[in-house]
Structure 1
């Protein structure tokens, strides 16, 4: 088990997949991090050196990921709702925010835009 940013990963897991398991780190950011620390794209977590693990942990801790990013997104949506903008009202009603058609298919948008409805 390899310990990266407070999470234990099995040694056979790909480094790319391990990095993408953090909220806010997608495919492009994980590839950029791996290139920065000279890690092969098909490398496993158990194969990388401990110095590379500590460097990855330090780099991830300096980024805005996980709870900080979730809080920032929630605050941005709350700010839009408080200002009474069109996007804020669409978020509050659980409707599509970016101009999609609501005539027939909005079930996915209703699922994704569910937030607390106070205020």
Structure 2
């Protein structure tokens, strides 16, 4: 398996499809990276030469695309800032509720977790 920035990407897939295995690189960003690096998007990852991998890595750094740990740190800092200033979005994150105005009477199970039935006290 090829390694780019500490992430192993699959050899048997096309490079265009295997670059999104890197956290912070999506399909569109992968296309842009390959275009700037001058690498054919249809080539398999296992067939890439060492120079092509270095070109791809240099394009990612030169375009200052946030990936992996840097991106995770930035997202975490943004959430920490929201919770520290006690804004509405920060409070919703703290409580584990939907942040963007979705309903919570029904649904919202992804955010709220497993349903806990409240028993009737006699």
Same fold (TM over 0.5): yes
In our comparison, the structure showing a higher alpha carbon Rg is 2
TM-score (norm 2): 0.78
Q: Which residue of 2 aligns with 1:27?
A: 27
Secondary structure, in 3 states, of the residue corresponding to 1:95? Answer: coil
> Would you say how many aligned residue pairs link Structure 1 and Structure 2?
111
CA drift at 1:103: 1.7
Aligned pairs for 1:1-119 within 5 A: 1-61=1-61, 62-110=64-112
Equivalent residues of 2:2, 2:9 under 8 A apart: yes
- Shift in alpha-carbon separation, 1:7–1:69, aligned structure 2, 3 A: closer
**For residues 19 and 3 of structure 2, what CA distance do their matches in structure 1 show?**
12
* Structure 1: 4+ residue segments shifted above 4 A: none
- Shift in alpha-carbon separation, 1:10–1:109, aligned structure 2, 3 A: closer
Equivalent residues of 1:5, 1:60 under 8 A apart: no
Runs (5+) with no aligned partner, structure 1: 112-119
Q: Which 10-residue stretch deviates more, 3-12 or 34-43?
A: 3-12
Runs (5+) with no aligned partner, structure 2: 114-122
Equivalent residues of 1:22, 1:65 under 8 A apart: yes
Highest RCO, 1 vs 2 (Cα 8 Å, sep ≥ 6):
1
CA RMSD, 1 decimal: 1.9
